[in-house]
Amino acid sequence: MAFKEILLNMGPQHPSTHGVLRLKVALDNEVVMKVTPVLGYLHRGMEKLFENRTYQQITPLTDRFDYLAAISNNLGYLLAVEKLMGIEVPKRAQYIRVIFTELQRLASHLAWVGFFANDIGAMSVLLYGFIEREDILEIFEEYSGARLTVHAFRVGGVPTDINDKIIDMINTFILKLPKRIADIETLLTGNRIWKHRTIGVGVISPEDAISLGLTGPSLRSTGIKWDIRKDIPYSSYQDFQFEVPTSANGDLYDRYVLRLEEIKQSMRIIRQALDTLPQGETLTKVPRVLKIAPGEVFHSIEAPKGELGFYIKSNGTDKPERVKMKSPSFINMQSLETMCLGNLFADIVAVLGSLDIVLGEIDK
Amino acid sequence: MSNSLAADLIIPIIKIIIVGLFPLIMVMVMVWLERRVVAFIQLRLGPNRVGFQGILQPIVDAIKLFFKEDITHTGVDKVLFNISPVLVLFSSILAFCFIPLGGTMQIGTYNLNFWVAESPVGLLLIIGISSISVFGVIFGGWSSNSKYPLLGALRSVVQILSYEIPVAFSVLSIIFFSQSMNMIDIVNRQKDAGIWYGFMLPVSFVIFWISVVAETNRAPFDLPEAESELVAGFHTEYSGIKFAYFYMAEYAHMVLASSLAVVLFFGGWLPPFPNVAALSFLHVIPGFVWYLLKIMFFLYLFIWIRGTFPRYRFDELVRLAWKWLIPLSLLNILVIAFVRSFA
């Protein structure tokens, strides 16, 4: 039976578009012929807003990009500013930054596993992931007072040192997480339905991945070993022993296994950072009115979702002339169509979930 | 005269009302139970505010849905749009008149049967009547004049048609042994055999249960209403009480499926080991209670499965039916027929 191509509008109000994304989908029966993302429903003009704020005032605003990994955004922006100023952050502060960004990576990946599983229909995993994420948010709350938009770092270091209570909280959390990860793996990894839904679905070749600018775990799932923490180390990442997991197939299952593996590696990094935490200052002296000499800089970090880069152009005043953000969700969205073509309609949702997009970061 | 009037008219009418209400009461219990149990599986609390442990939550939900605006958008085929929720709910409730909810109870000289109708082809009628609901789904999806419901309805038709076949085959293996399609006879034969058919024919039961979960559109086969893909599937455009009809029908179908599983495979109203003298004290408990306990187990199983498994994809679902369940059920039937005629 031949069907005419149907044009289906998915979103912006749809349960699984992760916010207010709109997809124009052309279907032949249930086979995807075309996917066109329509963006801008959450546009807040952040980059323009930055031009009217001082350098310090921008930091809390970066929390609102990827609200599931606010600390990574802070770090990406601050490293760019510090590079532009040419200041060195104290070693202790660098380690504390690593601990918190890795915790944020854990939180982001745990939430991702839940959302991804929920998109595929396993609804309980979402809550299991969130229970663990809750512990991380409590650590953040203890440190900075905020849970979601943490604003944990400052230009020149971190505002407060970590105390024993926070170290205890992190240690207990790290001890208990592997068991919970094992629970999630029992529910999903070996499950036949899960494998049917993920193996061989949403495949992208390494060549396509590179030409579409894919970064993060989705890129590494195609077999390309590219992790900025390892390849262009920042914030003392060179001090820590950790693996960059890769796999070869570039499908949804690989992305899932890879992220679980990254969770384990992040725990390794946190443990090392806590063990070898150097003594000393946590904040370099930075003038209150921060005027940066004219110049431009680009610095990128490995955020949980991929490469997060900030381009900053200064003009000698206390406000930047231009800030441009290279956000992983936005760039990764480009490969959605390549991954979906020829798959079934239900796979769009799964592929979209696997890319780990956050609309705050796409629309800026 | 008055005695026969009571026996022929009044008691049957009361029975019809009770049996008609029974699935609806079970629906209310299930709505509450599902939300609570899934919540506990997910380390949440679930509804626990309205009444004791939130037991009145379904009633509150129903009242809310009653008073919600009933939206009929433009471009709708009004007749089909209005008739389909009724069709879906009606078919599942009607099928209950052939389900024995318990054995025969002697009250004075009157034998009270716990079923409304007894038919020599009761099993066939139940399967037939409950299949009417697929029309409600098609009409509902088609008449909505919207794309998500249409896709949901298409999926639903393929799904229900595919899974009807293994259900029929697994039920056929029961008929080989009971040699009757009368639901009451089937239970009585299990009593005579001394063993519930579920333990005698485990393969048939497994095929039956998987297919029945698929036919009731429950997770992991809830594709027609796959929330993450099709919003709400065939009933996306429904609101208010019409939506509630679909909602109730889904649960009523679950109750029906569990009842069928219990009556066909697990001895209906019979206590465990009905012929063992040492356990005869179990007969003190009325058959209806046994039946209720057993269907509660299967209803719990529905919820448990939903809380655990991811969702099948459409092509995998059809493949499961045609490549695994149908050949397996055919083979099963062959083996059973062979054993039955030679052993």
A32-60 pLDDT per residue, tens:
888 888 888 888 888 888 888 888 888 88
Yes or no, beta carbons of B147 and A6 under 8 Å apart: yes
Hey, what are A245's tokens? 């997991």
Peptide bond before residue A12 is cis, with ω within 30 degrees of 0: yes
The b-or-e profile of A235-246 (16+ CB within 10 A means b, else e) is bbbebbebebbb
Q: Tell whether the model's pLDDT for residue B162 goes beyond 60.
A: yes
Yes or no, beta carbons of A193 and B227 under 8 Å apart: no
pLDDT above 90 covers what percent of chain B? 0
Closest approach of B300 to chain A, Cα-based (Å): 16
Q: Tell whether the model's pLDDT for residue B329 goes beyond 70.
A: yes
How much is the pLDDT for B148?
A: 81
Yes or no, beta carbons of A120 and B314 under 8 Å apart: no
Range of the domain at B206: 2-341
Cα separation, B120 vs B130, in Å, equals 17
| Cα B128 to Cα B101, B114, B124, B133, B235, distances in angstroms | 19, 22, 6, 10, 23
Q: Phi/psi at A308 (nearest 5 deg)?
A: -110, 115
What does DSSP assign to residue A132? H
| pLDDT tens string B58-95 | 888 888 888 888 888 788 888 888 888 888 888 888 88
Nearest by CB to residue B227, choosing from A15, A193, A196, is A15
Name the residue in chain A with its Cα closest to that of B37.
A124
| pLDDT tens string A237-295 | 888 888 888 888 888 888 888 888 899 899 889 988 888 888 888 888 888 888 888 88
Yes or no, beta carbons of B316 and A196 under 8 Å apart: yes
pLDDT above 70 covers what percent of chain B? 96
Peptide bond before residue B220 is cis, with ω within 30 degrees of 0: yes
Name the residue in chain B with its Cα closest to that of A349.
B229
Closest approach of A114 to chain B, Cα-based (Å): 12
Yes or no, beta carbons of B307 and A123 under 8 Å apart: yes
Overall average pLDDT of the B119-148 stretch: 84
Q: Determine contact: B222 vs chain A, CB below 8 A.
A: yes
Q: Determine contact: B323 vs chain A, CB below 8 A.
A: no
Cα separation, A271 vs A285, in Å, equals 29
| pLDDT tens string A313-363 | 988 888 888 888 888 888 888 888 888 888 888 888 888 888 888 888 888
What separation, in Å, do the N-terminal and C-terminal C-alpha atoms of chain A show? 44
**B161 chain-A contacts, CB cut-off 8 A:** none
Cα separation, A248 vs A129, in Å, equals 26
What is the helix (H) or strand (E) element at residue B113, kind and residue range? strand B110-113
Nearest by CB to residue A187, choosing from B44, B308, B313, is B308
**A346 chain-B contacts, CB cut-off 8 A:** 223, 226, 229, 313-314
Yes or no, beta carbons of B312 and A120 under 8 Å apart: no
Cα separation, A117 vs A115, in Å, equals 5
**B220 chain-A contacts, CB cut-off 8 A:** 121, 193
Q: Tell whether the model's pLDDT for residue A3 goes beyond 60.
A: no
DSSP readout, B44-106? Answer: ---S-SSSGGGTTHHHHHHHHHHTS-----TT--HHHHHHHHHHHHHHHHHGGGGS--S-EEE
**B316 chain-A contacts, CB cut-off 8 A:** 193, 196-197
What angle (nearest 5°) sits at the alpha carbon of residue B277, between those of residues B272 and B278? 80
Among B residues 236-295, those touching chain A with beta carbons less than 8 Å apart:
none
Q: Determine contact: A123 vs chain B, CB below 8 A.
A: yes
**B148 chain-A contacts, CB cut-off 8 A:** 8
Q: Tell whether the model's pLDDT for residue B97 goes beyond 70.
A: yes
3-state secondary structure of B119: coil
Q: Determine contact: A196 vs chain B, CB below 8 A.
A: yes
**A16 chain-B contacts, CB cut-off 8 A:** 227-229
Yes or no, beta carbons of A16 and B308 under 8 Å apart: no
Nearest by CB to residue A124, choosing from B41, B147, B313, is B41
User: Which residues are within 8 A (CB) of A142 and not within 5 positions of it... i.e. 6 or more apart?
Assistant: A165, A166, A169
Overall average pLDDT of the A105-130 stretch: 87
What does DSSP assign to residue A31? E
Sheet with A22-28, edge to edge strand ranges: A6-10, A22-28, A31-38
Q: How confident is the model at residue B2 (pLDDT cuts 50, 70, 90)?
A: low
**Conformational region of residue B173, where left means phi above 0, alpha means psi within -120 to 50, and beta covers everything else:** alpha
How much is the pLDDT for B225?
A: 65
In one-letter notation, the amino acid at residue A267 is: M
Q: Tell whether the model's pLDDT for residue A230 goes beyond 80.
A: yes
Q: Tell whether the model's pLDDT for residue B276 goes beyond 80.
A: no
Nearest by CB to residue B313, choosing from A8, A128, A197, is A197
Q: Tell whether the model's pLDDT for residue A1 goes beyond 70.
A: no
Partnered with residue A312 across adjacent β-strands are A297, A323
Q: Which has the minimum average pLDDT: A307-316, B28-37, B196-205?
A: B196-205
Residue recorded with tokens 């943490």: A150
User: Which residues are within 8 A (CB) of A43 and not within 5 positions of it... i.e. 6 or more apart?
Assistant: A363, A364
| ipTM over cut 0.90 | no
| Cα A6 to Cα A24, A28, B151, B232, distances in angstroms | 10, 6, 10, 18
What mean pLDDT is reported for chain B?
A: 83
How much is the pLDDT for A311?
A: 92
How much is the pLDDT for B226?
A: 62
How much is the pLDDT for B309?
A: 84
What does DSSP assign to residue B282? G
Overall average pLDDT of the A288-306 stretch: 87
Q: Tell whether the model's pLDDT for residue B228 goes beyond 70.
A: no
Yes or no, beta carbons of B309 and A131 under 8 Å apart: no
**A32 chain-B contacts, CB cut-off 8 A:** none
CATH number listed for the domain at residues A42-331+345-357: 1.10.645.10
* Total number of domains constituting chain B: 1
Q: Which has the minimum average pLDDT: A178-192, A343-357, B202-216, B218-232?
A: B218-232
Overall average pLDDT of the A197-220 stretch: 88
Most confident option among A17-31, B8-22, B232-246, B322-336? B322-336
Q: How confident is the model at residue B23 (pLDDT cuts 50, 70, 90)?
A: confident
pTM of the model: 0.85
Domain range annotation of chain A: 42-331+345-357
Among A residues 323-362, those touching chain B with beta carbons less than 8 Å apart:
344-349
Cα separation, B326 vs B163, in Å, equals 8
Cα separation, A133 vs A70, in Å, equals 14
What is the helix (H) or strand (E) element at residue A140, kind and residue range? helix A123-144
Overall average pLDDT of the B141-156 stretch: 82
Q: Tell whether the model's pLDDT for residue B322 goes beyond 60.
A: yes
Partnered with residue B104 across adjacent β-strands are B113
Q: Determine contact: B301 vs chain A, CB below 8 A.
A: no
